């Protein structure tokens, strides 16, 4: 990760705006990630100032009575015509049936291309509403308003949208960049602890794949992070967003081998989520187990020493994240993994660590070694 001085990165005071610029495209597709405290209260005037006069808020029903109400009031105060559609919480909502219900609801509201979609909630709503925005009327403007940690540090940035099929996670979707991302750190104050912990798995991921200094910072600030110290939380959100922006700007569509590193732990994680049934594990919990498996696989392949596996596992455990999976038939998991978007002609490919802060894509791994890791990491 090219950065002149890794230590000058953090301690972002009370909000910041991180630009995401696509070098080879028109400026129209560039956008900013605005990070602040209490900024949902001014979302209406912020988005109205971009010439938007009508919005449809698509909100996770768990946040519908809090953050979505704050947004709705802010839009109405700014004179923006506002409708709200609620979506049931949980991974099961990332389905074709839920997408169809949203398409039909948008049609019945006579939504046209000047209407913006505002996705308020976690990764599920962001992915689903983003996909519906990408497809309805051949494409509507969308703003991502992530209210969970997993969405603030990862899924709301970078334009990946999609839904699941029974046979595989995120198998149907589109790259559809938002017009902006509005991250209110205060939304995390009321997040259930399991959800907050799930986001910390993606945070650890950023240290493992790109930034050893950040990884060490996480190790030394565990308590503050667990207690949701506002400065610590803002530091982790802004650091992860900057790291992600750096990757997405260079490889928007996961074509050059750079963006694929963001999938560290995800091949195992998606297989476990699919095999367990969507919604049994939170996405970050599955990513935590997946990163442990990926590191153990790297160790078996002689790429890293055991102490790297231990440091990662210790950090994940400090955040109360699971590091072992329920026992599944390894052949079933291998079948699911062969359908993963990173697989080529059924050959398994995994993002594996070379050290803390650096990973690479490894091809054609012997299935028997993968099976050994799956068996050793289950309980
Ligand atoms: N969450 C992985 C990516 O956005 O590429």
Mean pLDDT for 154-173 is: 94
Identify whether 235 is a catalytic site residue: no
State the residue for tokens 């070098």.
23
CA distances from 232 to 61, 216, 267, 290, 356 (A): 28, 14, 29, 25, 21
pLDDT in tens, 276-285: 988 889 999 9
Percent of the chain's residues with pLDDT above 90: 82
Model's pTM, two decimal places? 0.92
CB 260 within 8 A of CB 359: no
Identify whether 259 is a catalytic site residue: yes
Q: Is the pLDDT of residue 124 over 60?
A: yes
Catalytic one of 5, 7, 27, 138: 138
Among the atoms of ligand 1, which is closest to the Cα of residue 263? 2
Identify whether 160 is a catalytic site residue: yes
Most confident of 10-24, 303-317, 337-351: 303-317
- 143 phi, psi to nearest 5 deg: -110, 135
pLDDT of 169: 86
CB 107 within 8 A of CB 92: no
Nearest to 312, CA basis, from 288, 280, 281: 288
Percent of the chain's residues with pLDDT above 70: 94
Burial 305-342 (b: 16+ CB within 10 A, else e): eeebbebbbebbebbebbbebeebebeebbebbebbbb
Ligand 1, atom 3, lies closest to the CA of 262
| Distance from Cα 244 to the centre of ligand 1, integer Å | 8
Identify whether 283 is a catalytic site residue: yes
Q: Is the pLDDT of residue 58 over 60?
A: yes
- Residues in contact with ligand 1 by the CB-under-6-Å rule are 154-155, 158, 160, 259, 262-263
Q: 233: which 2 tokens? A: 């939380």
């Amino acid at each position: 990760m090219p950065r002149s001085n890794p230590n000058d990165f953090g301690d972002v005071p009370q909000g910041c705006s991180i630009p995401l610029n696509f070098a080879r495209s028109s400026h129209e597709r560039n956008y900013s990630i605005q990070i602040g405290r209490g900024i949902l209260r001014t979302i209406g005037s912020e988005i109205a100032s971009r010439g938007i006069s009508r919005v449809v808020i698509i909100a996770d029903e768990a946040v519908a009575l809090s953050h979505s109400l704050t947004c709705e009031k802010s839009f109405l105060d700014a004179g923006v015509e506002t409708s709200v559609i609620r979506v049931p919480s949980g991974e099961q909502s990332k389905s074709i049936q839920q997408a169809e219900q949203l398409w039909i609801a948008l049609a019945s509201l006579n939504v046209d291309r000047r209407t913006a979609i505002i996705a308020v909630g976690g990764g599920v709503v962001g992915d689903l509403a983003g996909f519906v925005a990408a497809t309805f009327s051949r494409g509507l403007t969308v703003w991502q308003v992530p209210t969970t940690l997993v969405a603030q540090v990862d899924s709301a940035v970078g334009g990946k949208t999609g839904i699941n099929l029974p046979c595989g996670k995120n198998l149907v979707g589109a790259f559809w960049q938002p017009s902006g991302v509005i991250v209110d750190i205060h939304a995390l104050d009321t997040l259930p602890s399991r959800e907050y912990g799930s986001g910390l798995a993606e945070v650890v991921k950023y240290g493992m794949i790109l930034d050893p200094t950040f990884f060490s910072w996480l190790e030394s600030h565990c308590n503050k992070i667990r207690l949701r110290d506002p400065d610590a939380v803002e530091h982790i959100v802004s650091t992860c967003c900057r790291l992600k922006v750096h990757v997405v700007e260079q490889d928007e569509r996961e074509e050059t081998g750079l963006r694929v590193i963001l999938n560290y732990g995800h091949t195992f994680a998606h297989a476990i989520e699919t095999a367990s049934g969507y919604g049994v594990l939170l996405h970050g919990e599955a990513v935590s187990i997946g990163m442990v498996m990926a590191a153990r696989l790297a160790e078996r392949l002689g790429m890293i020493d055991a102490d790297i596996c231990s440091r990662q596992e210790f950090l994940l455990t400090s955040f109360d994240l699971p590091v072992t999976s329920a026992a599944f038939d390894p052949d079933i998991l291998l079948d699911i993994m062969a359908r993963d978007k990173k697989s080529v002609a059924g050959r398994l490919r995994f993002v594996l660590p070379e050290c803390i802060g650096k990973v690479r894509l490894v091809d054609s791994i012997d299935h028997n070694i993968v099976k050994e890791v799956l068996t050793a990491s289950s309980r």
